[in-house]
Structure 1
């Protein structure tokens, strides 16, 4: 996981602490909104992913949108989960360019380790995720 954190921090030009937080937010989002079997394959291919997600704690993050999405559930509104994750990432201190870079790098690593088919299944199942990539 440290290698992944370093890679993403370097690509996005952010601190490793912020990269760690962002990766945790994105993985929790995928776990919440993606197809369970495909997400489980991605998490298994990223050693330390479950621990990183646990470090991020529960809840859907700060802000009204994050709180609302957490109460309503990620799949309501076909993209509410993506909006909540974006809200969490920006509340953590990332701008839109950094959000895209972190997401793209994480997806690239997932492709390298879990395979294109698994990642494509997750991306296509979550409304709006493909647009970020």
Structure 2
């Protein structure tokens, strides 16, 4: 997992420690929403379970945007609330909107290589806007 994390960190413009926590948060989100498919993905990437555990155990820093998104997410609940909570966790790591876009491309691009685009789409298609962003040409 370390070479992949180093690649993500370089591409996103952050430290490997932040990239690893970000991957852990994203994989934790996927586990919550699509446990069967996410478990298959995580089992195929050594170190992923520990990244999820580390992200879950990490102290939650609050950014202004992260605090607002987390609060709104808590009120909304469901999949939209989960997505806002994930965004809150990622922005609290200090990631900008542009970095979040790059992070999504790197994580989901790598995941597609591991489990295939069709299996990954089962997890990403229900997330409003994400599927069109990740797969603009279908």
**Which TM-score bucket, shorter chain as reference?**
0.7 to 0.9
Alpha-carbon deviations, 1:69-120, whole Å to 9, x = none? 46875xx2x4211111111111110000101111110101111111111111
Judging changes above 3 Å, is the alpha-carbon distance between structure 1 residues 71 and 111 closer, same or farther for their aligned structure 2 residues? Answer: same
Where does residue 55 of structure 2 map in the other structure? 56
What's the C-alpha RMSD, in Å, of the aligned pairs?
2.4
Q: Distance in 2 between matches of 1:86 and 1:132?
A: 16
- TM-score, length of structure 2 as denominator length: 0.80
Aligned length: 129
1:102 aligns with 2:106: no
1:18 Cα offset (Å): 1.2
5+ residue gaps, structure 2, are: none
Bigger RCO (CA 8 Å, 6+ sep): 1
1:129 Cα offset (Å): 2.7
Where does residue 66 of structure 1 map in the other structure? 70
Contact 2:30 2:38 (C-alpha < 8 Å) held by counterparts: yes
Judging changes above 3 Å, is the alpha-carbon distance between structure 1 residues 8 and 117 closer, same or farther for their aligned structure 2 residues? Answer: same
- TM-score, length of structure 1 as denominator length: 0.83
Q: How does 1:106-117 map to 2 (within 5 A)?
A: 106-117=107-118
Where does residue 15 of structure 1 map in the other structure? 15
1:12 Cα offset (Å): 0.9
Q: Distance in 2 between matches of 1:60 and 1:26?
A: 16
